[in-house]
Structure 1
Amino acid sequence: MKLTILGCYAATPRTFTNPTSQILEIKNRLFLIDCGEGTQVQLRKNKIRFSKINHIFISHLHGDHFFGLVGLVSTFTLLNRTTDLHIYGPKGIKEIIKLQLRLSNSWTNYGLFFHELESLESEIVYEDEKVRVQTIPLKHRVYTNGFLFQEKIGERKLNLDAVQNYEINSCYYQKIKNGKDITLEDGRVIENDKLTFDPIPTKSYAFCSDTVYHEAIIPIIAKSTVLYHESTFLQSEENLAKKTLHCTAKEAATIALKANVGQLILGHYSTRYEKIELFKDEAETVFSEVLLADDGKSFEF
């Protein structure tokens, strides 16, 4: 599982920082999460192939999280894209993007599908044989979701020594890897756990931006391998965080601690602060496994 941060700062872009956008690679799938201004340039800088992006998840309709979307959609057309593109985001995103395409006479030459979200409860929005994505309802000034990306449990691993010891024909190997017991010719039933090892442990990634401190998300993100949580402010600006429905680094760490996640990545920093290391220092007073997002930075788990 690999996470590439394209942008992780709040509010307006600067010459050296970009608003929210990131790429998650999981089980050979590539997902774009949010699409602030400058996303195309950051994709180029980080050598991420545009053609691999087939699913885009937009958390909410504040500009620093989606103003780069119509440009990316249009560039796909200029690149002669033919593969379908799926966009998941709040109700209204289809109207916004289609209006811009219509007025600029820039219709796509590929299938463009919108999956508009409006539920206040967590729901599965994408699923295939290897990955499941569900929403994390957040609490912000407009309707907002985070997204939980989960690997599905894979096949069990053959214990070849045990299989050969019982002289089991190879035609049954797939059945065994699927978790089935095997009945031998003499009638003995060999339980699956005697023939296999546990599958590789699954990983999960929870993306939470933007939100006020919101403990309702804890059961959804519990025990996630990695949690990315907004930390717009430091605790010294706690009142401003509450007023704007954002979080402090300490509050993000508290969520990570209560959810018992493996790693916390902080991001969505207010540009009022000169050093993002201050966020890590504050969060580590509550939770020890803290990493800092920064534009162009990649994490592998």
Structure 2
Amino acid sequence: MKLTILGCYAATPRTLTNPTSQVLEIKNRLFLIDCGEGTQVQLRKNKIKFSKINHIFISHLHGDHLYGLIGTISTFSLLGRTTDLHVYGPKGIRELILLQLKLTESWTTYQLFFHELESKESEIIFEDQKVIVKTIPLKHRVYTNGFLFQEKPGERKLNVEAVQNYNIHTAYYQKIKNGGNVTLDDGTVIENEKLSFDPIPSRSYAFCSDTVYHEAIIPIIENVDVLYHESTFLQSEAALAEKTLHSTAKEAAAIALKANAKQLILGHYSTRYEGIKPFKNEAETIFPNVLLGDDGVSFEF
């Protein structure tokens, strides 16, 4: 599982900082999460292939999470894309993008599918044989979702020595990997645990975009491996965070602690501060495993 932060600052793009966008690589799938201005430039800088992105998740319809989407969609066409592209986001995103494509006469060279979200309850919005994605309803000034990415459990690992000792035919190997027991010719049942090893533990990643401190998300993200949680302000501006429905670094850490997350990544910093190190210092007073997101930084888990 690899996370590349393309941008993680609040409000407006600046010379050296970019608004929210990131790429999650999990089970050989690439998911683009939010698409602020400059996303496609950051994709190029980080050598991420446009053609590998087939699913884009937009948390909410505020510009610093969205204004790079139409440019990215258009560039895909200029590059001759033919593969389907799926966009998941709040209701209205289809109208917003299609109007821009219509007025600029820039219809895509590929099929563009919109999956508009309205539910205020967590729901599955993507699933294939290896990955499942659920929404994390957040509390912000407009309808907003975070996203929980979970690997599906993999196959069990064959205990080669054991199956040879029991003289089990190779025809049963896939059944064993799928968790099944094996019955020998004499009727003896060999339990799967004697023939295989546990699969590599599944990993999970939770992206919690703009939100006020919101404990209702804790049951959804409980025991998550990696939590990215917005930390727009330091605790000294807690009143401003509450007014604008954002979080402080300390509050992000409190959510990580209560959810029993293994790792916390901070981001969406207000540009009022001279540096981001104080965010880590503040969060670590509550939760020990804190990483600072920053533009162009990648994390492998």
Q: TM-score range by the shorter chain?
A: over 0.9
SS at match of 2:51: helix
Q: What's the counterpart of residue 6 of structure 1? A: 6
Is 1:256 the equivalent of 2:269? Answer: no
SS at match of 1:54: strand
Could you tell me how far apart the structure 2 residues matched to 1:298 and 1:63 are? 24
Could you tell me how far apart the structure 2 residues matched to 1:132 and 1:237 are? 36
Structure 1 residue runs of 4 or more that deviate by more than 4 Å after TM superposition: none
Could you tell me how far apart the structure 2 residues matched to 1:154 and 1:75 are? 35
Query: Following superposition of structure 1 onto structure 2, how do residues 76-87 of structure 1 map, counting pairs within 5 Å?
Result: 76-87=76-87
SS at match of 2:176: helix
Q: What's the counterpart of residue 53 of structure 1? A: 53
Give, in angstroms, the shift of residue 209 of structure 1. 0.7
Question: CA offsets per residue over residues 80-99 of structure 1, 9 Å max, x none?
Answer: 10000000000000000000
Q: Kindly, what percent of the aligned residue pairs are identical? A: 80
Give, in angstroms, the shift of residue 58 of structure 1. 0.1
Q: What's the counterpart of residue 184 of structure 1? A: 184
Could you tell me how far apart the structure 2 residues matched to 1:11 and 1:63 are? 8
Query: Following superposition of structure 1 onto structure 2, how do residues 134-213 of structure 1 map, counting pairs within 5 Å?
Result: 134-213=134-213
SS at match of 1:126: strand
TM-score by length of 2: 1.00
Is 1:62 the equivalent of 2:33? Answer: no
Q: What's the counterpart of residue 39 of structure 1? A: 39
Unaligned runs of 5+ in 1: none
TM-score by length of 1: 1.00
Question: CA offsets per residue over residues 222-259 of structure 1, 9 Å max, x none?
Answer: 01100000000000000000000000000000000000
Could you tell me how far apart the structure 1 residues matched to 2:122 and 2:189 are? 42
SS at match of 2:72: helix
SS at match of 1:260: coil
SS at match of 2:216: helix
Q: What's the counterpart of residue 271 of structure 2? A: 271
SS at match of 2:31: strand
Could you tell me how far apart the structure 2 residues matched to 1:174 and 1:102 are? 51
Question: CA offsets per residue over residues 164-218 of structure 1, 9 Å max, x none?
Answer: 1100001110011000000000110001111110000010000001000000000
- In the alignment of these two chains, the number of paired residues is 301
Q: Which amino acid aligns with 2:74?
A: S
Q: What's the counterpart of residue 93 of structure 1? A: 93
Q: What's the counterpart of residue 129 of structure 2? A: 129
Could you tell me how far apart the structure 2 residues matched to 1:211 and 1:133 are? 19
Could you tell me how far apart the structure 2 residues matched to 1:143 and 1:237 are? 24
Give, in angstroms, the shift of residue 109 of structure 1. 1.2
Could you tell me how far apart the structure 1 residues matched to 2:289 and 2:195 are? 37
Question: What is the RMSD of the two structures over their aligned residues, measured on CA atoms?
Answer: 0.3
SS at match of 1:265: strand
Q: Which amino acid aligns with 2:55?
A: H
Q: Which amino acid aligns with 1:104?
A: T
Question: CA offsets per residue over residues 5-43 of structure 1, 9 Å max, x none?
Answer: 000000000000000000000000000000000001000
Q: Which amino acid aligns with 1:187?
A: G
